[in-house]
Structure 1
Amino acid sequence: MSPEIFVKRSLAAKSVVRAEVIQSLWSGYGEIVRYQVSGAQDNLTSVIVKSIRLDQVMAHPRGWQSDLSHQRKQISYQVEARWYRHWAPRLLDAARVAECYAVQESDTEILLLLEDLDTSGFSHRHHQLTWSACLPVLDWLASFHSTFISTGMANNDERVDDKGLWARGSYWHLETRPDEWQAMAEGELKRQASVIDETLRKANFQTLIHGDAKVANFCFSASGSEVAAVDFQYTGQGIGVQDVAYFLGSCLEEVSLTDHFAFLLEHYFAELTRCLVAQGESPDFASKVEAEWRSLFELAWADFHRFILGWSPDHIKNTPFSQMMTERALASLRTS
């Protein structure tokens, strides 16, 4: 089915016009396109279609194309479709995402019909932030993580992988990146990679994580006080500080990160506690979650740094701050 017909049928629209390509998907798997519509339900005038070709096998920009890579990308788009269908409706307003109007899936194609966040007041994008501009995103993450805090608990019957999400959230976790691990230079981080991975996996308090919470995946209001998130291809089980570490590393300059990361982490945990208590959890429960996740923050940072050192060791994200956090994590393992 063509995207135009998909939009027309889904919204009972009189006319559908392809307006602009917003973005081509990584490795050529498809595109994100804005469509102008008229005579549609709810008086919609603009919508977004994310169009994915599951049978595409394109060259990876950094040369990492393989059957495993292709399979990972295929699954990631199926995960995103299931996220919007089954999980996104559970979110509170504080963790704003695009409304999903329709999903079309076949063996070779996925079409997602989404709210145009630009027309809903989230038209600003950033690649770098000041420390204070990080606060609304940390609030979003706290709300998101608190909503799903019991999903991965041992006493919960609801398994995320049975509901269409990744059993392990994030695109860099060790099990899904054996080639990148193999490419790492020999050293302590490579030797301890499985220990770090297992420690994160066995944390008592699990939740859903966004899995790709870089600043580019957040849409900001004009004032910067409100945000909405996009791109849920790697959403699955994990611990909240995996998202927090990845987000902070994606948006702050080295000096700002060094000066403010401790305060930003405090802000995240304060908001997480507020959200947990507001949804009926006890202050004692919130305190236990914070204690565990705070103790794992440096390991979560080192886990992503491990991926970078295998995937692209000369990448801009291989920073002195990341090296410092990784050394702290390794030091904690030496004394444990």
Structure 2
Amino acid sequence: MGASKNADPNQPKAERVATSLLARHDLQPVSFSLEHWKPVQALWGGYGQVIAFNAEASSAKGAAYMERLLGRINGQQGSVYPLIMKIVTPPPGSQESPSEGDLRKMLSYDVEQYFYEELATTLPGDIPVAKCVASSRTLPNQTEGSAAESQCTAMILTDLRIDFPVDFSKRQMLRLDVVYSALTWLGRFHAKSWDWLPFNPEDVVLPPLVEAQERKGRKGGRSVWRNGGYTYLETRRSEFQALQKDELSEWSAALCRPHGQHQTPAAVLAASFLSASGRAFETYIHGDVKSENMFASKDGDQVAFYDFQYVGIGLGVSDLAKLFTCSVPQTMLVEGDVPHRLEMQPKERALLERYREILLETDKAPEYEWHGFCRHWETALVDWCRFQASWGFWGNTEWLEARVRSILSDQGWWDWIEREA
């Protein structure tokens, strides 16, 4: 094998971790040369990297293991498999007195490993995701190597790009056919998650600061987030408080303060309603739905999502709110120019109806009538607008703001949300 290309000796050696994880399944990296060992991207905040590499089966047993994962029967000793490794190496000092953001990141990698090892294996073929080849989640405590190496979090997955070669890793709007394929994937995924519910409150991962305290007492969740996503209000209090004080933002008054006869701010009501509480229409959500987290087949008739760090309980429409704002072309949502206030338009409705049709195909689907679904959708838009207003707008900003202005001007929505929240 070629020489290591890692520049920082204090960081866990990705080559050694990959070798250790794969050896349990009679697999080994083909080479550590640049031709076979390619960094794909850095993780957010300098928390590690994603590496593409090839592994070969060192025995018939290793080949059989991979063929079972891939649903094939043609492997043999020496067969080569394209893989992806996600290795988490926290920046120096980030774990000594971690911020809420640091805690969120580290917990999210635990959640992602749980998803791939415990939930992804139950997904049918028409909800494609990568297969987990090996993970440090079940690796025995290491007794050799540096302290940093023993603390690493790593996961090796099959490479989705073999069957889904169209890459949207650079932020971009999607084609019409890919949008419909994404809605199909999401509808099926959300529907499948009814098999995983109800959740055990003692197993789920709480908001980062709360979870950190729980784990000090050797408690704490070990599965998915209690509230899927990373934008919900309970974990974005500092940004919300800053928005409350921002006199220059129209959303400070519209979302963060009492509104007329309504004493509870719209953002607080929306967040309360969207929080997991065991209702029949709740599902697991992906939590970070955008074009950068998906691949598509060549003809666009199927997509596969990845990056399940924020999978958890929620309402499927919360996944749609981000998708529509960040990755769906505005021309698929509204004709012509966007007015200051905008009610649901026929194009937007057609996309929602497509998703809802897929969602309710399963025999386990609860009663979910259109009017209630639309109220949930409106509430998800209000919640997503609150996050963007406090963090920074991007995507179909004009459309999102116009839709939320319309929702907040609807007395029917206020009456409904105050009753339901």
**Range of TM-score over shorter length:** 0.7 to 0.9
SS class of match (1:213): coil
Closer/same/farther in 2, CA of residues 159 and 15 from structure 1, 3 Å limit: closer
State how 1:185-196 maps to structure 2 within 5 Å: 185=246, 186-190=252-256, 191-196=265-270
Q: Which residue of 1 aligns with 2:259?
A: none
Amino acid in the other structure paired with 2:274: L
SS class of match (2:289): coil
Comparing 2-11 with 293-302, greater Cα deviation is found at 2-11
* Percent identity of equivalent pairs: 27
Q: Which residue of 2 aligns with 1:232?
A: 308
How many residue pairs align between the two structures? 319
Asked if residue 17 in structure 1 is aligned to residue 31 in structure 2, the reply is yes
Q: Is the 8 A contact 1:48 1:115 kept in 2?
A: yes
SS class of match (1:234): coil
Q: Which residue of 1 aligns with 2:235?
A: 176
Amino acid in the other structure paired with 1:87: L
SS class of match (2:153): strand
Q: Is the 8 A contact 1:298 1:328 kept in 2?
A: no
Asked if residue 29 in structure 1 is aligned to residue 47 in structure 2, the reply is yes
SS class of match (1:49): strand
Q: Which residue of 2 aligns with 1:62?
A: none
Task: Identify the structure with the greater helix proportion.
Answer: 1
- CA deviation string 1:163-189 (max 9, x = no partner): 511000011000011111112133121
Q: Is the 8 A contact 1:152 1:160 kept in 2?
A: no
Structure number, greater radius of gyration:
2
SS class of match (1:205): coil
CA distance in 2, matches of 1:89, 1:235: 15
Gaps of 5+ in 2: 1-11, 64-78, 142-149, 206-220, 247-251, 257-264, 336-346, 417-421
CA distance in 2, matches of 1:112, 1:15: 14
Amino acid in the other structure paired with 2:373: W
- Partner residue of 1:271 out of 353, 358, 371: 358
Asked if residue 305 in structure 1 is aligned to residue 385 in structure 2, the reply is yes
Amino acid in the other structure paired with 2:101: S
Comparing 78-87 with 38-47, greater Cα deviation is found at 38-47
- Partner residue of 1:80 out of 104, 107, 112: 112
RMSD of the TM alignment (CA)? 2.5
Please state how far the C-alpha of 1:286 moved relative to its aligned partner.
4.2
CA distance in 2, matches of 1:318, 1:56: 37
Closer/same/farther in 2, CA of residues 333 and 174 from structure 1, 3 Å limit: same
Comparing 296-305 with 125-134, greater Cα deviation is found at 125-134
State how 1:1-336 maps to structure 2 within 5 Å: 2-8=13-19, 9-18=23-32, 19-40=37-58, 41-42=62-63, 43-54=79-90, 56=92, 67-105=99-137, 108-119=151-162, 121-126=163-168, 127-149=172-194, 151-153=196-198, 160-161=204-205, 162-184=221-243, 185=246, 186-190=252-256, 191-201=265-275, 202=277, 204-259=280-335, 260-274=347-361, 276-277=362-363, 281=364, 285-288=365-368, 292-312=372-392, 315-317=393-395, 319-330=397-408, 331=410, 332-336=412-416
Comparing 123-132 with 214-223, greater Cα deviation is found at 123-132
Q: Is the 8 A contact 2:46 2:91 kept in 1?
A: no
Comparing 228-237 with 102-111, greater Cα deviation is found at 102-111
CA distance in 1, matches of 2:55, 2:300: 28
